Amino acid sequence: MLKIAEERIDILFRMADREFSANPHRSHRYTELARNIAMKYRVRIPREWRRRFCRKCYSFLKPGANCTVRIADGKVNFRCHECGHIMRFPYIREKKDRRRNKIESHTTKEGTDEQITVGAHNKCGESQSDR
């Protein structure tokens, strides 16, 4: 039953996304139905859809149409134009991924597939295997 509920939630949110430009009230209703299914079967709404509806008025949010998205102080701020509610989500995971990719690109030697091990040397410059 849980797998069916998760699939139905995903279908409803995709339908809400497609239907928003033609009929926003119908997309708000799809969001409400998806939320009710999640509560009934105690299933989490997927992360990709969790940020797409207002936590106060439960309307489907489409950036640029009925919500504003801003990045400030390490947070992503969504402002609903229906009720004025501001939702703040941390931007830490995205920063960590970007930092990790940057470190990985610097630790790879140019022209080879060989990885440089970070932290293999101590402060004096001698490797740990030389001891």
CATH code for position 9: 1.20.5.420
Residue 131 lies inside a defined structural domain of this protein: no
List, for residues 74-108, the tens digit of each pLDDT value.
888 999 999 999 999 888 777 788 888 888 888 77
pLDDT score, position 18: 93
List, for residues 35-48, the tens digit of each pLDDT value.
999 999 999 998 88
Joined tokens for residue 34: 């998806």
CA-based nearest residue to 96, from 115, 69, 116, 74: 74
Domain that holds residue 15: 2-93
For the segment 65-78, the average pLDDT, to the nearest whole number, is 90
Residue 118 lies inside a defined structural domain of this protein: no
For the segment 41-60, the average pLDDT, to the nearest whole number, is 90
Residue 87 lies inside a defined structural domain of this protein: yes
pTM score, whole prediction: 0.66
The fraction of the chain above a pLDDT of 90, given in percent, is: 51
Residue 67 lies inside a defined structural domain of this protein: yes
Angle of helix 24-40 relative to helix 2-19, nearest 10 degrees, comes to 170
In this prediction, residue 73 has a pLDDT band, given cuts at 50, 70 and 90, of confident
pLDDT score, position 15: 94
Containing H/E element for 34?
A: helix 24-40
pLDDT score, position 107: 78
The fraction of the chain above a pLDDT of 70, given in percent, is: 82
pLDDT score, position 125: 55
Residue 116 lies inside a defined structural domain of this protein: no
pLDDT score, position 47: 85
**Mean pLDDT (the chain, rounded):** 84
| Domains contained in the chain, number | 1
Residue 115 lies inside a defined structural domain of this protein: no
Residue 102 lies inside a defined structural domain of this protein: no
CB 116 within 8 A of CB 109: yes
Instruction: Estimate to the nearest angstrom the gap between the alpha carbon of 2 and the chain centroid.
Output: 22
Residue 17 lies inside a defined structural domain of this protein: yes
Containing H/E element for 71?
A: strand 67-72
